Structure formats: C-alpha cells, structure tokens
C-alpha cells in the first residue's frame, strides 16, 4: 500500500458550486495536502453572468472546508486568451514544493501556460482536466476540427495525467493517441448526499400546486441557461407536437432566449401550460427537480451536463440529446431509449408521449435513476483523482537534493515527506 501524502495545488478560474464539495473531500483525504488557488472569486461574490444575463451569486458556501487563496488577475477577466493572466502563480508554484499541480482553467488562457511552465521548472507533476467529447466545434467550421486533430495530441501530451469526467472524453483522448495510463476517469460529480437529503425534505405537492399542476398532471422540466446551444426551443416545439393536455412545461433558468420562448409558446397555443421560473439558485433546485416528473436536456453540446446528476439524485428521470456527455454514463444505463438525436423534435415528442401514457414506466425510471447514482459520485471522483496524482508524480524524476525556491508561500510545507513505495 502506498502511504505517501501528496502536496497538491489545484488552480481554478473561479469558485463553482459543484467543485466546492469535491475540494472539501480532497482536503479531508489522508493522501492529499491540498491548496486551491482561484484566479477570481466570481460566483462566491455577486457579479454579472453574461450567459444568464443577470447578476449571480450562489447561495451555498463555496469557500468553506479547504485551504484556498486568490491570485491577482492582471487580465481583462473576459473570455480572451488574456482574460485570465495570473503571474503570481509562477511564484506560488516555484516556491511551493508541490508534488502535483492540477489545472482546471482550460488551456485557452495565459494562466494555464504560466502554471504549466512553472510546474515543469519546479519538477511538479502537471495534471489538467479536459471534458470535451468531440473535435467538432460548435460553429461547425471544419478547419477548426482539422487544427484540433493536429494540435490536441501535442497539447495533451504536456500533461503527466489528463483527468476526464466521462467515458466519452476518455475515448476521445485515446483516439488522439494518448496512452491509456495517462488518462484517468474522475466521474463528474456533485454532492450526492446533499441532493438526496434535500430532496427528501421537499413537499412535492405544495411545489406543484404553486405551478398550477395537479397530481394527475405530468411536469416536464428544462433546467439550464436559456441559450441557443441548450436548444430550449426544441423542447417547447416537441411539447406542442406531443399534445399533452394534462401536462406542464417548466423552464428553470434565465438567458437571452426567454422572450422568444414566451412568444413562441403563445404562437403554438401552449402558453397556458408553460411556466418560466427565471434563475433558480442552488438551495431551491432540489424542490424543482423533486417536483418534476421528467427533465429534458436537448443541448447541441454539453460536455457533461451536471443537471443530469442533480435531477437523478432527486429521483427525476432524464431525457437527453445524443450530444450530451452524461447520456452515455448516466442516462443510457437507466434506459437507452431516453436518448434521442439532437434537433429531432419528432423523436423527442414521441418520448414525451410515452412518458405521459405510462406513469408506471416513468415512476420506475425515477427509482432506476437514483440507483444509478449510487456508484457515480464524490467517492469515485476522489479515488480517481488520487490515482491520477500518484501516476503523475511517478512520472517525475526530481534531481536528488532538489529544493524549491522558497518565496513566502502561505501554503506551509508538509512536516514529513515520504518517498513513493517501490
């Protein structure tokens, strides 16, 4: 048994509601001495989210239970390459004597490359996350696909380990020529226990009454940003095609398509059976999922789709397009027939009609959804992460007598450092 404890720096663009519980579990793991460096505090502090089109601040603690610091961002804060530019990371990594650096910022920013080169100079294992499942860009420009086919194998070979959240991403990495032992699955997870507990506390009938839904109605839910790539209009049109008269369609989320959705709902004659909840914060989401009968995620691209985890933990079965990463790992094991070709509103309408006609089938899917999540959660994620760190560190052959350049880093060194087991 390897009893080594690894000193780890995780770098994240900003606090995220589904990563905070993962960082807490990593901090509590006996094999890890974790510090998280944030490039900004967007999410933990109120700020404008351009995709929601509103000021957002998550209503759960994002910074409790683990060691963290904010590294000053000298970039623009936007989505350009220099949107994230945190030169202080160089000093932190060079002076931190880290066994491993985990980068979760994506590679299209200056901060990623600062972290990569600093880790190399410090003889620290460099690990980074990738979640894409396809080479095809959202805008459909095939020249980008050809460039990725050439560049990505070189990019991902910079990592001592690539950590991936789904089997689809792992398959893509292997297709690019990465060795299997350089790609580790760390299942895309939320705090399963929290969702199950909160779901059990919900007065489902009361929530549904607030929507104007009776016990005999079926409630179909869309829970995501109202953005074009999420394709909420597909669901609205499929709902109208299905002619489900004792049914409600609930949109939980905000974004630029809201006015178009409202107008089209009226034009299709279903406005009286459609509800728009706007932005729903984290503590309110368990009530939304628990009170719905079916969640639909029709995205043209979702690397994973964390709402799938959340809904299934609340006992709500999920329908996804074949462009949603979670379909393969979470939805297909429950029922492959809940996956339909993206953009095919007739196929989606047929699934809605089947769910409407067979409540027994739908109820059984809810139980199966929660059962699937029993082996896809934080324990599996942390086990994969520790394995990836161990593999990455094993690739680094530090020169004998190497000492980090001490620069007053706040994250204090471990009192003891053990050599890896032979």
Best CA proximity match to 298, nearest among 355, 225, 377: 225
Same-domain status, 154 and 231: no
Q: What is the pLDDT of residues 187-226, one digit of tens each?
A: 999 999 999 999 999 999 999 999 999 888 999 999 999 9
Task: Round to whole Å and give the CA distance between 114 and 81.
Answer: 12
Q: Strand 294-297: give its sheet, edge to edge.
A: 274-278, 247-252, 218-223, 294-297, 318-321, 339-340
Same-domain status, 229 and 126: no
Task: Round to whole Å and give the CA distance between 318 and 59.
Answer: 25
Final residue in a domain of this structure, among 350, 374, 398: 374
CATH number at residue 100: 3.40.50.2000
Same-domain status, 370 and 380: no
Structural domain that includes position 198: 192-374
In a domain, 416, yes or no: no
Task: Round to whole Å and give the CA distance between 409 and 288.
Answer: 44
In a domain, 420, yes or no: no
Instruction: Give pLDDT < 50 ranges for the chain.
Output: 1, 406-410, 412-422
Same-domain status, 199 and 184: no
Contact (CB, 8 A) for 233 and 264: yes
Report pLDDT for 2: 56
In a domain, 32, yes or no: yes
Best CA proximity match to 8, nearest among 163, 189, 166: 163
The continuous run of DSSP H or E covering 14 comes out as none
Same-domain status, 164 and 30: yes
In a domain, 297, yes or no: yes
Same-domain status, 203 and 171: no
Specify the residue for token string 């990738």: 130
**Sign of the CA dihedral running 55, 58, 61, 66:** negative
Same-domain status, 209 and 247: yes
Task: Round to whole Å and give the CA distance between 322 and 25.
Answer: 32
In a domain, 137, yes or no: yes
Contact (CB, 8 A) for 370 and 312: yes
Q: What is the pLDDT of residues 218-272, one digit of tens each?
A: 999 999 999 999 999 999 999 999 999 899 999 999 999 999 999 999 999 999 9
Same-domain status, 136 and 32: yes
Report pLDDT for 42: 84
Task: Round to whole Å and give the CA distance between 93 and 85.
Answer: 15
Task: Round to whole Å and give the CA distance between 286 and 196.
Answer: 9
Written as one string, the DSSP assignment of 397-421 is -PPTT--------SSPPPS--PPPP
Same-domain status, 23 and 137: yes
Specify the residue for token string 């490359």: 113
Task: Round to whole Å and give the CA distance between 230 and 254.
Answer: 12
In a domain, 42, yes or no: yes
Same-domain status, 229 and 301: yes
The DSSP code for 283 is G
Tell me, yes or no, if the pTM score tops 0.85. yes
Give the max Cα distance, the chain: 75
In a domain, 268, yes or no: yes
* CA dist 383 → 30, 66, 356, 392 (Å): 12, 18, 40, 14
Same-domain status, 88 and 183: yes
SS3 call for 245: coil
In a domain, 412, yes or no: no
Task: Round to whole Å and give the CA distance between 93 and 118.
Answer: 6
The HSE-up count of residue 324 (CA atoms within 13 Å, CB side) is: 29
Count up the domains in the chain and report the number.
2
Question: How many helices and strands (H and E) does the chain possess?
Answer: 16, 15
Same-domain status, 293 and 396: no
């Amino acid at each position: 048994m390897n009893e080594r404890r690894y000193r780890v720096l995780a770098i994240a663009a900003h606090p995220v509601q589904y990563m905070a519980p993962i960082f807490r579990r990593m901090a509590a793991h006996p094999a890890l001495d974790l510090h998280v460096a944030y490039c900004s505090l967007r999410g933990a502090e109120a700020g404008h989210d351009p995709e929601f089109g509103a000021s957002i601040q998550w209503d759960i603690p994002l910074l409790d239970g683990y060691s963290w610091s904010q590294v000053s961002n000298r970039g623009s804060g936007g989505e350009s390459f220099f949107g994230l530019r945190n030169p202080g990371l160089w000093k932190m990594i060079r002076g931190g004597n880290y066994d491993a650096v985990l980068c979760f910022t994506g590679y299209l920013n200056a901060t990623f490359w600062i972290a990569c080169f600093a880790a190399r100079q410090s003889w620290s294992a460099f690990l980074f996350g990738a979640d894409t499942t396809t080479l095809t860009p959202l805008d459909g420009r095939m020249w980008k696909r050809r460039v990725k086919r050439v560049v990505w194998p070189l990019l991902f070979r910079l990592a001592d380990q690539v950590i991936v959240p789904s089997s689809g991403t792992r398959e893509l990495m292997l297709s690019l020529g990465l060795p299997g032992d350089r790609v580790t699955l760390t299942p895309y997870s939320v705090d399963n226990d929290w969702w199950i507990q909160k779901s059990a506390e919900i007065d489902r009938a009361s929530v549904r009454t607030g929507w104007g839904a009776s016990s005999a109605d079926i409630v179909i839910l869309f829970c995501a940003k109202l953005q074009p790539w999420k394709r909420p209009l597909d669901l609205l049109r499929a709902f109208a095609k299905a002619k489900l008269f004792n049914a409600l369609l609930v949109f939980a989320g905000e974004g630029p398509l809201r006015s178009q959705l409202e107008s089209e709902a009226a034009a299709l004659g279903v406005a009286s059976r459609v509800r728009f909840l706007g932005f729903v914060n984290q503590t309110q989401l368990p009530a939304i999922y628990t009170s719905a009968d079916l969640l639909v995620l029709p995205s043209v691209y979702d690397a994973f789709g964390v709402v799938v985890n959340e809904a299934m933990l609340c006992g709500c079965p999920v329908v996804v397009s074949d462009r949603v990463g979670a379909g393969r790992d979470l939805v297909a094991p429950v029922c492959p027939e809940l996956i339909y070709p993206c953009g095919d509103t007739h196929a989606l309408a047929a699934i809605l009609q089947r769910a409407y006609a067979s409540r027994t089938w739908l109820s059984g899917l809810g139980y199966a959804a929660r059962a699937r999540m029993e082996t896809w959660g934080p324990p599996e994620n942390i086990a994969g992460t520790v394995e990836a760190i161990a593999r990455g560190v094993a690739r680094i052959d530090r020169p004998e007598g190497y000492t980090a350049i001490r620069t007053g880093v706040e994250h204090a060194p471990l009192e003891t450092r053990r050599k890896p087991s032979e």
